[in-house]
Each structure stands twice: as structure tokens, then as C-alpha cells.
């Protein structure tokens, strides 16, 4: 799997950003991103000429638009045509999302718990979703130093609640990036996975997000695979219970966790410390382990915990979380999207 | 030629509604010019601002967040009115100008468009400007929309 560093929520002069697409692309490349989505408010006019800028900077630019409505903001990506955001009634957002799907795009709740009007008009999600299975993703980490924000913790809890209900919804970060301003805050990155042998295209990135091949971090890339009966399953996979699953012949379920410190070298930093790795699911915390990291002095490009035994009790989903100290705060540093169980 | 000149007043109760303003375009239009403005932009009454903020904190924040948020209320001030303009031609959407500027002078032609709008042919027929009233925090807010068409020889 090739993991691409993505920034999935950005704005330009075409809405209320104070940067051109070119300035935004230059900034994204400087910060080590491989891809970004342009999600201007209610317009796709900023995408004109994007292919030239994409090839100039060696950056994939996904088309998108942030529905900036009265009852919520919704990021849509991967569609080339406009869908009318103005007709969305508070109880009929499902239809808008389905229209996005018809045009090949994905829809995600943007910063669903950010304070709404009048401070930030429509920023708090107030749509009544009739069928959550239409929702593709939730932007659970918004802005910089995302994990310490209460609003993001609420979004993360909302996502977990939906997973517990058996839904398959991806989770992302998005800076909601409006201007080229320096920040000392940790940035979030959503890594999207493209299978080996596939071309690195916009379409493949959209597929990755749709299928949950996604991992979100403020530093190293966190990956999880589960093996069963000699088969290995990555993020977003669905592990089907085999016909033998009911019998004692069921194979042993094991998890492998990789922390890749080599990503975006020099563009993030964490102090030396003992990380806490957690595997959690709808059954709660299933496993935890301490991992020593020597910070910048470390030669470790990556660290792997292999063959972690998992209980054979049924579960709906499983994800990994990396906890530790960032700017003297103990917080969530990274989390994977889930592996699902049928 | 001035083809549209409308003004009106919206009240806080108009928040979260769209005002649709249709207009007609003739065959020979080569460029549209629009001027959209509204006033006031900001709510100056501090007491009223804090009341409105308190209401939104109660609605959107967890109980334990509300007091700390109120102690930093100035981060959110001044509260602002927000009305945005979007445009439709007879065939569909021509973009939106979602930004806080309360005076916007916009142009649209086959070759060029103000940021947020999409350049392209200007088909004759029924067009529509939509004013999306996202939020009105002042007692009332006056808006004005003017649209001019320019023929071939007028376009530089």
C-alpha cells in the first residue's frame, strides 16, 4: 500500500480564503503533502486551471466543495460537477448526499461540533440525517492541534457511536485552511492508501477514502492489519466470518501495528517519551502496549508490534490509537480508520 | 444598461432563508456587472452581542464549555451579518461569492469572472440572483443589488 499525505479541507480567494490555488498548492507541498482537496464554500470556480498547477507542483488536487449552508457545513470531494447546496432542507440532507454520490463524489460532515451562528454561520451540524449509511465520512479533526479541541473530541465520539451501531463511516482531518500563515501548532494529516500496482490518481484517493483506507495523525503514520487463517486485512477491510467460524476450527486472530516515523521527515516533531498504543473496538479497549520512542535521536524509521493476539469474541470494528505527549499535553496523536468484522 | 436595481430590508427572522431575485438577459449581452451591498455589517451593541452569544453557547456547547467560552467572548466579536450572493443562468449554477465583504462589485463574461463565479457564455433568458441570508444579528439590515449589462462595443 502506498500511503499519501492529504489535506482534505482548503479554501482560496474564490470563497473566503486569502490565497490563490497556486499559493495553496505551494504551501501544501512545502508541508509535505502529496495531495489536497480544494473545498471552497459553495463554488467550484477555483478549480479552473487546477491541472496545470497540480503538475507544476507535483501535487494531486482533488475537486471538491464545502456546502456552506444554514444547518451545517458538508465537505464534498471527488465530483467534477456542482450539486445545489441551496435546496437542502434540514430534514432532507440525505437527498443532497445521494446527489453527490450520483456524480461520483463523497460527502462528509465538516467540523460538526464547531459553534454555529452567529459566531460561525451554519458551522454546527444541525441536519437530521435520516439514514446514516449515506454518510461517507466525518471530519473528526478540524483545524490545527486538533486532538485537544473539545469540539473534535465530540466529533470523534460521534464517529465511534456510529461505528458501534454497525455503520461503516470513514474519519478524516481537515485544516480548514484559509491562509498561508505560519503556525506553531501540530498539523493533522490524513493518509490515504492506494494499493500497490494501482496508479496514483485522484480517483484512487477518492476510492481510498470511500473504502476507509485512511489513517489520521499529527506525526507518525499509524497502520493496523489483522491476520486470520493466513489472510491479511488492512484498514477499511471487512473480515467475513467464515462458515467454520461458528466451530472450534476458527483460526487465530492477530493484529500487527506499525508506527512509521519516516513520513514527512522534519515536518513534525514529538518529544522522546513512552507512547501508549491502544487497540479498541465496540467492545471497548481490547489491548494496550507501551512503546519507547527516543525522539529525534532515534534511528528507528519505524516500529512494529506483530502477532498481537485478539479475542475471538465477536466485534463490529477494530482500530488502533496512538497516545502520548504533544506540546506537554497528553493526547491522542494518531488513529487509524477501522477494520470491520461481519 | 442598468437592468436590475432592487433594495430591501431583512430582519433577524429572515436568517437562514434565500431571497430569489429573477432577471432577464437579452441576446446581445457580452458582460454582466453586479454590485451587491448590505449594511450594517456589524452589531455594535455589546450587551446584545453577549446575549446572542450566550444563546448560541447554550445551543452548541457542552455545559462545562459555556462559562470558559463566555469568558473569551471577545474572540467572537464583533458579531456580523452575513448575506452571500449566488447566480444561476438559464442552464444552471454560475457560482457563489461566499465571503464577508459587505460591498461586492462583480463581473461575469465568457472569458472572465470575479472569484467565485464561473466564466462562460451568457445565455439569454431567465437568470436568477440568490441572496442567501445566513445570519442577521442587527435589528435590521438593508441590502441592495444592481445589475448592468454591457454589449459588445461597451466591453473593453
Query: Which 8-state DSSP code applies to residue A132?
Result: G
Give contacts of A122 with chain B, Cβ < 8 Å. 134
Query: Which 8-state DSSP code applies to residue A187?
Result: P
Q: What's the maximum distance between 2 C-alpha atoms anywhere in chain B?
A: 64
Q: Do A43 and B65 touch (CB under 8 A)?
A: no
CB A335 within 8 A of CB A171: yes
- Single out the residue of B93, B91, B96, B86 nearest to residue B126, CA to CA: B91
pLDDT digits (tens, 9 = 90+) for A126-150: 999 999 999 999 999 999 999 999 9
Q: Residue B18: which of A44, A86, A121 has the nearest Cβ?
A: A86
CA distance linking residue A154 with residue A214, whole number of Å: 20
CB contact set of B79 (below 8 Å; sequence gap of 6+): A118, A119, B42, B43, B49, B52, B53, B137
pLDDT reading at A244 higher than 90 = no
pLDDT digits (tens, 9 = 90+) for A87-113: 889 999 999 999 999 999 999 999 999
Pairs across A and B, CB distance < 8 A: 86
**Whole-structure pTM over 0.95, yes or no?**
yes
CA distance linking residue A305 with residue A160, whole number of Å: 24
Distance from the Cα of A321 to chain B's closest Cα (Å) equals 25
Read off the pLDDT band of A80 (50, 70, 90).
confident
Q: Which residue of A has its CA nearest to B73?
A: A119
pLDDT digits (tens, 9 = 90+) for A59-73: 999 999 999 999 999
Helix A50-57 vs helix A21-30: crossing angle, to nearest 10: 30
| pLDDT value, residue A130 | 97
pLDDT digits (tens, 9 = 90+) for B54-63: 999 999 999 9
Considering chain A, what percentage of its residues have pLDDT values greater than 70? 97
| pLDDT value, residue A88 | 86
How long a stretch of residues is chain A?
342
| pLDDT value, residue A259 | 97
Q: What is the mean pLDDT of each run of 10 residues along chain B (156 residues)?
A: 97 98 94 98 98 97 96 96 98 97 98 97 97 98 98 72
| pLDDT value, residue A212 | 98
Radius of gyration of chain B (CA): 19
Q: Which of A19, A65, A79, A121 to mutate to test the interface with B (most CBs of B within 10 A)?
A: A121
| pLDDT value, residue A300 | 79
pLDDT reading at A268 higher than 80 = yes
What does pLDDT average to over chain A? 95
pLDDT reading at A190 higher than 70 = yes
Read off the pLDDT band of A296 (50, 70, 90).
confident
| pLDDT value, residue A248 | 52
| pLDDT value, residue A243 | 57
What does pLDDT average to over chain B? 96
- Single out the residue of A263, A264, A261, A280 nearest to residue A272, CA to CA: A261
Read off the pLDDT band of A294 (50, 70, 90).
confident
| pLDDT value, residue A242 | 62
* Residue-wise burial string across A2-30, b where 16 or more C-beta atoms lie within 10 A, e elsewhere: ebbbbbbbbbbbbbbbebbbebbbbbbee
CA distance linking residue A59 with residue A76, whole number of Å: 19
Q: Do B134 and A41 touch (CB under 8 A)?
A: no
Read off the pLDDT band of A241 (50, 70, 90).
confident
CB A35 within 8 A of CB A62: yes
pLDDT reading at A249 higher than 80 = no
Amino acid at each position: 500500500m502506498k500511503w499519501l499525505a492529504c489535506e482534505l479541507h482548503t479554501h482560496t480567494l474564490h470563497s473566503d480564503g486569502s490565497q490563490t490555488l497556486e499559493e495553496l498548492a505551494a504551501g501544501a507541498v512545502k508541508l509535505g503533502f502529496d495531495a489536497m482537496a480544494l473545498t471552497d464554500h459553495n463554488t467550484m470556480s477555483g478549480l479552473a486551471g487546477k491541472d496545470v498547477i497540480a503538475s507544476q507542483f507535483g501535487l494531486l488536487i482533488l475537486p471538491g466543495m464545502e456546502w456552506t449552508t444554514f444547518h451545517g457545513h458538508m465537505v464534498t470531494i471527488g465530483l467534477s460537477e456542482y450539486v445545489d447546496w441551496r435546496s437542502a432542507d434540514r430534514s432532507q440532507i440525505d437527498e443532497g448526499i445521494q446527489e453527490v454520490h450520483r456524480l461520483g463524489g463523497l460527502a462528509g460532515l465538516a467540523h460538526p461540533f464547531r459553534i454555529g451562528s452567529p459566531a460561525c454561520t451554519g458551522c454546527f451540524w444541525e441536519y437530521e440525517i435520516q439514514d446514516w449509511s449515506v454518510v461517507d465520512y466525518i471530519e473528526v479533526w478540524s483545524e490545527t492541534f486538533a486532538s485537544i479541541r473539545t469540539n473534535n473530541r465530540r466529533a470523534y465520539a460521534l464517529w465511534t457511536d456510529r461505528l458501534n451501531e454497525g455503520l461503516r463511516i470513514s474519519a478524516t482531518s481537515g485544516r480548514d485552511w484559509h491562509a498561508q500563515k505560519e503556525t506553531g501548532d501540530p498539523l493533522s494529516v490524513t493518509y490515504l492508501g492506494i494499493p500497490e500496482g494501482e496508479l496514483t490518481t485522484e480517483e484512487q484517493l477518492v476510492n481510498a477514502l470511500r473504502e476507509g483506507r485512511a489513517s489520521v495523525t499529527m506525526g507518525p503514520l499509524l497502520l493496523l492489519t489483522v491476520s486470520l487463517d493466513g489472510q491479511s486485512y488492512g484498514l477499511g477491510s471487512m473480515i467475513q466470518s467464515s462458515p467454520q467460524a461458528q466451530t472450534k476450527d476458527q483460526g487465530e486472530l492477530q493484529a500487527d501495528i506499525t508506527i512509521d516515523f519516516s513520513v514527512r521527515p522534519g515536518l513534525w516533531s514529538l518529544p522522546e517519551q513512552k507512547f501508549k498504543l491502544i487497540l479498541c473496538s465496540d467492545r471497548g479497549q481490547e489491548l494496550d502496549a507501551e512503546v519507547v520512542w527516543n525522539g529525534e535521536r532515534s534511528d528507528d524509521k519505524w516500529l512494529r508490534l506483530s502477532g498481537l493476539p485478539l479475542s475471538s469474541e465477536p466485534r463490529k470494528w477494530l482500530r488502533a490509537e496512538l497516545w502520548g505527549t504533544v506540546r506537554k499535553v497528553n493526547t491522542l496523536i494518531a488513529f487509524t480508520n477501522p477494520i470491520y468484522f461481519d | 444598461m442598468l437592468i436590475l436595481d432592487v433594495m430591501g430590508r431583512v430582519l433577524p427572522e429572515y436568517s437562514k432563508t434565500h431571497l430569489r431575485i429573477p432577471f432577464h438577459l437579452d441576446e446581445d449581452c457580452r458582460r454582466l456587472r453586479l454590485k451587491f451591498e448590505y449594511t450594517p455589517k456589524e452589531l455594535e451593541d455589546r450587551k446584545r452581542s453577549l446575549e446572542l452569544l450566550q444563546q448560541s453557547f447554550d445551543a452548541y456547547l457542552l455545559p462545562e464549555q459555556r462559562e470558559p467560552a463566555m469568558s473569551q467572548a471577545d474572540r467572537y466579536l464583533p458579531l456580523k451579518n452575513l448575506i452571500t450572493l449566488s447566480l444561476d443562468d438559464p442552464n444552471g449554477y454560475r457560482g457563489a461569492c461566499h465571503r464577508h465583504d459587505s460591498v461586492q462589485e462583480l463581473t461575469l463574461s465568457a472569458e472572465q469572472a470575479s472569484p467565485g463565479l464561473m466564466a462562460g457564455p451568457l445565455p439569454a433568458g431567465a437568470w436568477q440572483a440568490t441572496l442567501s441570508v445566513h445570519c442577521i444579528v442587527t435589528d435590521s439590515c438593508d441590502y441592495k443589488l444592481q445589475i448592468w449589462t454591457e454589449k459588445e462595443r461597451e466591453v473593453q
